[in-house]
Structure formats: structure tokens, C-alpha cells
Amino acid sequence: MSMHDDILKVLVSEEELKAKVAELGAQISKDYEGRNLVLVSILKGSVVFMADLMRAVSIPCSIDFMVVSSYGGGNTTSTGLVKIIKDLDGDLSGRDVLIVEDILDTGITLSNLVPMLKMRNPNSVKICTILDKPSRRKADIAPDYEGFAVPDEFVVGYGLDYDEKYRNLPYIGVLKPSVYEK
């Protein structure tokens, strides 16, 4: 039984992701030249994007990871305020922080997280997300760098899960309705 059998349709292919990440990496390398860049990955959803994006960035940078509360197992609706479950290892003071996200959906997570990070005296805080679902936005927040806008559908793959599965799909897809009935 392959994971691919559970996919109804592919929204963003592996090739499209690869080309977009190269483009984003080149733009970020240009914009952050001579700065003090730290890529902050919000786990677990951004792990695949982070691994690809950091290799597409050609300027010196460091990386750090954070775990915040988001969707629970099997639940497909947002929960509310963000809680830090695992904090960053490094100090942000004087750093140019680029948050690396899987998807900007309601925007509630990042609209809560950005002010928390800004209190740590960084030089700047910006957002880079591979997916954007602007139709679902509840908070007043927009990405500084974005890969693809997706429709209001629950997507999986390229780091994004359903009940902790499908993160290892190399593309972004939509699940067959039968998967939710299992």
C-alpha cells in the first residue's frame, strides 16, 4: 500500500517546488547579503522546506528550530493562541530573523509568534512560507516571501501532515475523502 494511493490530486509538483525554492533562495541571498541571517524553522511542518531552502541560500547564515502548538492529530481546524513547546537555542539580538513556515493559513500562529520574537531585540523579523492560503486569513499578516497560493483545501506533503502522516510525500497534494473516514 503506497501513500500515493491516498492522494486525490497533486496541487504542486516536485519539479515546481524545486524551481520555486531555488528562486526563493536566490532572492533571499540577494536581500540578506551582508546581514546577520538566521533561518528559523517552525517544526515539524517546515522541515522539508527548511532543508531545501537552506541549501538554496548562498550567503552565510545560521539555522534554529522552534516547536509551537498547532493542529492536533486528525483535527483540521485551527485551535487559537500559540504556545512555545520547544524554544530556539540561539539569541536573536542583532540578528535578521527569517521565519521558515510550511503554510500561512489563518495566520494566527505567526501573528502571535512574530511579536514574541520581536521582543528579543532582533534587527528584523520576516516570514518565508512555501504555501499561502489567503482565503482563510483571520489575522492581519502577510508573508514577505511565498512559494504558492493554494485554495481553501487541506493539503499534505512536503512536510505537511494529516495525523502525522504524509509529511514525506515529495509533492503537495489533497487527500481522498475516504482517508478521513478511516
Q: Which residues sit at the interface with ligand 5GP, rule CB under 6 A?
A: 45, 70-71, 78, 101-109, 154-156, 160-162
> Considering all CA atoms of the chain, what is the largest pairwise distance in Å, rounded to the nearest integer?
51
Nearer to ligand 5GP, 20 or 167 (CB): 167
End-to-end CA separation in angstroms for the chain: 15
Q: Residue 105 catalytic? A: yes
Between 21 and 104, CB nearer to ligand 5GP: 104
Identify which of residues 97 and 155 has a Cβ nearer to ligand 5GP in the complex.
155
Give me the helices (H) in the chain, please: 14-31, 47-56, 108-118, 177-180
Residue 120's identity, in one-letter code, is R
Q: Measured from the CB atom, is 90 or 151 closer to ligand 5GP? A: 151
Minimum distance from CB of 28 to ligand 5GP (Å)? 19
Contact 99, 120 (CB under 8 A): no
Minimum CB separation of residue 106 from ligand 5GP in Å reads 3
Selected catalytic residue, list 87, 105, 132, 163: 105
- Residue/partner pairs of 61-66 with CB below 8 Å, 24 or more apart: 61/32, 61/37, 62/37, 62/38, 62/90, 63/38, 63/39, 64/38, 64/39, 64/40, 64/88, 64/89, 64/90, 65/40, 65/41, 65/89, 66/40, 66/41, 66/42, 66/113
> Annotated active-site positions, please?
105
